[in-house]
Structure formats: C-alpha cells, structure tokens
Amino acid sequence: EAGVVQSPRYKIIEKKQPVAFWCNPISGHNTLYWYRQNLGQGPELLIRYENEEAVDDSQLPKDRFSAERLKGVDSTLKIQPAELGDSAVYLCASSLDRRASAWETQYFGPGTRLLVL
Amino acid sequence: DQQVKQNSPSLSVQEGRISILNCDYTNSMFDYFLWYKKYPAEGPTFLISISSIKDKNEDGRFTVFLNKSAKHLSLHIVPSQPGDSAVYFCAASGGGSEKLVFGKGTKLTVNP
C-alpha cells in the first residue's frame, strides 16, 4: 500500500515568492493534516481537513497561507508571499478519522523541506 | 508555552542496554499519549501509545510508562539496537482538542 506522497521534497525560493506543496493521502483516509516542523522543534498543526472541509485552521497564518482539498482527496498548501521565517519542513499526514484512537493510524509523508532565502 | 516537554535533546546508549526517553506535560486535560520515531528525511512514524486510564503499555522491546500525578511519561527500549537510532517525539492529545501536541524530540544514538 502506498503511503502519504508529498511533492516536491525540497524547495528553495527567494523571499516574497509564492510556493505550493502537494499531498496525496493514503487511499480511504478521510482526515488530512498539514504540519509545520521548524528546526529543532516538533511538528505543529497548521490545518486539519475532514474530507473536503477544513475543520481546524486556527494555527494557519491566513494572511499568507492558504490550503485546499478539492474532492476530499489531494491537498495543496500555498504560501504567498514567503518570508524567511517560513523555512521549515512541511509535513502532510492522513488518518482514517479524527478520533483519539485513530492517532495510531495517522501516517506522515516524508515532508517538503522549504528554504526561503 | 510548551505543553509537552522533552528536556533532553539527545541521548547516547550502548547496544544491548536500556534507553529511557522522558517526556513531561503541563496540560492536565491530556488523556492520550503517543511516541513517534523519525529517521532523517522521513516523516514521523507511530511507535506506541498509552491512554490515561493505564500506567503502562508494552509492545515488544518498547514500553511506555505514564505517571499522571507527575504529568510524566517515559519510553523504555530494551535492548537497544543500532537501528533504534532516530529522533523520538512525545505527543499528547485530549481535553476536547482533536489535535496532537508534540514535544521537541530527543535524538537517540545507539552505539554498536
């Protein structure tokens, strides 16, 4: 079974440029998460989707970040414009559902490492 | 304000010995705890979990202990193997919040 797929794996851009990340979750997983992991830190949730609905985006910096999950499957996360502080690893994860017991079924993708110069 | 704290950035142990990774939390509403393992250039992978109704959960070489009164949990790996070398994240959820809060991680190195 294929895991969570993310692309690109690495991205280097100059500040003020736009950037987009793509995620394909595990088939059948209704819940999709985007996390940001800064250097030396643990992952922090940016947004959670239940099917195509964003049910928790309280940590998403909405002035420059946007996300969508069309048709409840693939998802994209966009930053426009990027700032130096956005350099981080952006992780996508998916799980069967949002119950606490489902955390064990939360699988992470390899992440996209973003460097903003 | 960090709700989940892993105060040891790194730990080094000899192969065959026990590895003990520690995690403290401040939010008394947390009721579910997990440990994740992360290799370089990969996403975290689930390792073991424990509910607040238990004080111990064991899975092979991995055991997690929970001390609710101290708001402390630990992961024991016995015996440690070189393949266990990775970053280990403690995470917690609960209190009506449907999200995981992660610690900063502890890098474990198991020397042959």
- Tell me the pLDDT tens digit for each residue of A27-79: 989 899 999 999 999 999 999 999 999 988 888 998 999 999 988 899 999 99
Range among A6-20, A89-103, B92-106 rated most confident: A6-20
pLDDT of residue B7: 92
Q: How far apart are CA A75 and CA A93, in angstroms?
A: 11
Mean pLDDT of B20-30: 96
What residues of B are in contact with residue A39 (Cβ under 8 Å)? none
pLDDT of residue B90: 97
**Where in A25-74 does DSSP place strands (E)?**
31-37, 44-50, 53-56, 65-68
- Residue B2, pLDDT > 90, answer no
Mean pLDDT of B75-100: 92
Pick from A72, A68, A70: which is nearest to A28 by CA? A72
Residue among B31, B43, B102 minimizing CB distance to A111:
B43
Looking at residue B52, the DSSP 8-state letter turns out to be T
Residue B99: closest C-alpha in chain A: A45
Tell me whether residues B41 and A110 touch, CB distance under 8 A: yes
Number of Cβ pairs < 8 A linking chain A and chain B: 58
Q: How far apart are CA A89 and CA A39, in angstroms?
A: 8
Residue among A42, A44, A106 minimizing CB distance to B46:
A106
Looking at residue B8, the DSSP 8-state letter turns out to be -
Q: How far apart are CA B15 and CA B56, in angstroms?
A: 24
Q: Does A25 touch chain B (CB under 8 A)?
A: no
Residue among B31, B32, B102 minimizing CB distance to A43:
B102
| Contact indicator for A74, A92 with CB cutoff of 8 Å | no
What residues of B are in contact with residue A112 (Cβ under 8 Å)? none
CA–CA min distance B15, chain A (Å): 25
Mean pLDDT of B62-70: 97
CA–CA min distance B77, chain A (Å): 19
pLDDT of residue B61: 98
Summarize pLDDT for A6-40 with one digit per residue, the tens.
999 999 999 999 999 999 999 989 899 999 999 99
- Residue A98, pLDDT > 70, answer no
Residue A97: closest C-alpha in chain B: B98
Residue A50: closest C-alpha in chain B: B98
